[in-house]
């Protein structure tokens, strides 16, 4: 069931999203060659708690897997999503790292992701990040009342394909708010005019996951990797559907 959020619930989501945006900015200042993904996770968990929230990913369960052990997902290079932070994963010059994070604050959830450069990266890596970020905002632009979920999917997929890249198979965005994952699913591939109709007050997370070399993925427990070991990038925002332009909830200004 797709849930319409009340004004008070939306305001709580804005507050949750602001914490995540500030956290991602803090992590950007920390990410450098030599730091471990475990250190990033420890900082993120502490940051969320200091701001009155709970790390929504920590302890999250799905059938067949142990509870997720960390506050953030850290996916390096060919990692697409759901990477588990580790003391053994030390970032190196030229890496890219996707950080995905969710929060529960005052009973409401927000979810966001950003992919970072570690030092100086290759031109190919830099272009991948630019394309994935642009795809996110094209999806957000298509997310307005009266349109359908497929309009978001098509906006993302058509741009990614025209740029020579691939959307990762079977990995999607989703509704968010009263739970971390709600209806509807928001695929990154699809046809315009298809899927559930978007209505004012809906809150969804749009999250293109884009690979350089293939749409195929390899699943290893929680973690997803590109099947050909090519680079992958991931950007995400939680947004509010309105009659006009969508409102980005997971940003520092709440605008």
Structural domains in the chain (count): 1
pLDDT of the residue at 98: 99
Name the residue range of residue 164's domain.
7-248
Q: Which residue has the tokens 């927000």?
A: 110
Q: What is the CA 213 to chain-centroid distance, rounded?
A: 20
1 belongs to a structural domain: no
What CATH number is associated with residue 138?
A: 3.90.230.10
Instruction: Kindly write down the DSSP assignment for every residue of 79-137, as one continuous string.
Output: EEE-PPP-TT-B--TT-EEEEEEEEEETTEEEEEEEEEE-SS--HHHHHHHHHHHHHHH
| Token pair 């305001």: residue | 11
Give per-residue pLDDT as tens, 27-80.
Answer: 999 999 999 999 999 999 999 999 999 999 999 999 999 999 999 999 999 999
**Which pTM was predicted?**
0.97
Average pLDDT (135-158) is 99
Measured CA to CA, the distance from residue 74 to residue 23 in angstroms comes to 14
Assigned domain for 254 exists = no
Residue 109 covered by a domain: yes
Give the residue with greater pLDDT, 169 vs 236: 236
């Amino acid at each position: 069931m797709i849930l319409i959020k009340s004004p008070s619930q939306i305001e709580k989501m804005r507050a949750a999203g602001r914490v995540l945006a500030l956290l991602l900015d803090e992590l950007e200042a920390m990410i450098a060659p030599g730091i471990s993904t475990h250190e990033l996770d420890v900082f993120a968990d502490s940051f969320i708690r200091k701001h009155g929230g709970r790390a929504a990913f920590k302890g999250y369960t799905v059938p067949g897997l142990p509870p997720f052990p960390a506050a953030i997902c850290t996916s390096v290079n060919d990692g697409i999503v759901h990477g588990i932070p580790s003391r053994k994963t030390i970032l190196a010059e030229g890496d890219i790292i996707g950080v995905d994070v969710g929060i529960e604050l005052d009973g409401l959830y927000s979810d966001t992701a950003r992919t970072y450069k570690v030092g100086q990266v290759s031109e190919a890596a830099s272009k991948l990040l630019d394309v994935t970020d642009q795809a996110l905002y094209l999806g957000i632009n298509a997310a307005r009342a009266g349109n359908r979920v497929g309009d978001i999917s098509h906006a993302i997929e058509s741009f990614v394909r025209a740029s020579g890249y691939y959307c990762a198979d079977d990995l999607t965005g989703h509704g968010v708010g009263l739970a971390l994952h709600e209806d509807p699913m928001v695929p990154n591939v699809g046809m315009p005019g298809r899927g559930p109709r978007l209505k004012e007050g809906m809150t969804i997370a749009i999250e293109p996951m884009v690979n350089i070399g293939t749409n195929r993925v390899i699943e290893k427990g929680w973690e997803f990797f590109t099947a050909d070991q090519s680079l992958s990038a991931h950007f995400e925002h939680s947004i509010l559907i309105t009659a006009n332009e969508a409102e980005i909830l997971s940003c520092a200004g709440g605008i």
